[in-house]
Amino acid sequence: MSNNKILSAICYFSIFFSPLLLPAIVFFVTDDYEVKSHAKKSLISHLAPIILLIVGFVLFWFSMVSFETRMTTFATGGFDFWAFAPLIFMALYGLLFLIVVIWNVYQGVKVLK
């Protein structure tokens, strides 16, 4: 097994121990096109949950800002999306993170074969 395959697989498996740092270092340090391609793919897949997490913090902030209006909406019996937005976000984030982890493990094993 070549060192290039092992380095490419480690970029994918780094989702467990160093999600952004290792693929970025490998991308900028290596000269091999195949390893650089795998490092870029793994870096992009590691960035997806982080970007969604930032969106979630903004969503959570909007739900906290609208807290006073939610109390009047609940009192009148209406539905308020912002009250359930953090719960919906947590479910979507958990699902996306699980998909990203499974995809990275699959790609890492695929590179090693």
Q: Are 96 and 52 in contact (CB under 8 A)?
A: yes
Domain definitions of the chain by residue range: 3-112
* CA dihedral for 45, 104, 94, 92, sign (positive or negative): positive
pLDDT, tens digit (0-9, with 9 covering 90-100), for 30-66 = 999 999 999 999 999 999 888 888 888 887 777 776 6
Q: What are the tens digits of pLDDT across the range 58-101?
A: 877 777 766 666 555 555 666 666 667 778 888 989 999 999 99
- Between the CA atoms of 10, 105, 21 and 26, what dihedral angle is there, to the nearest 10 degrees? 40
Contact 45, 19 (CB under 8 A): no
Q: pTM for the complete prediction?
A: 0.78
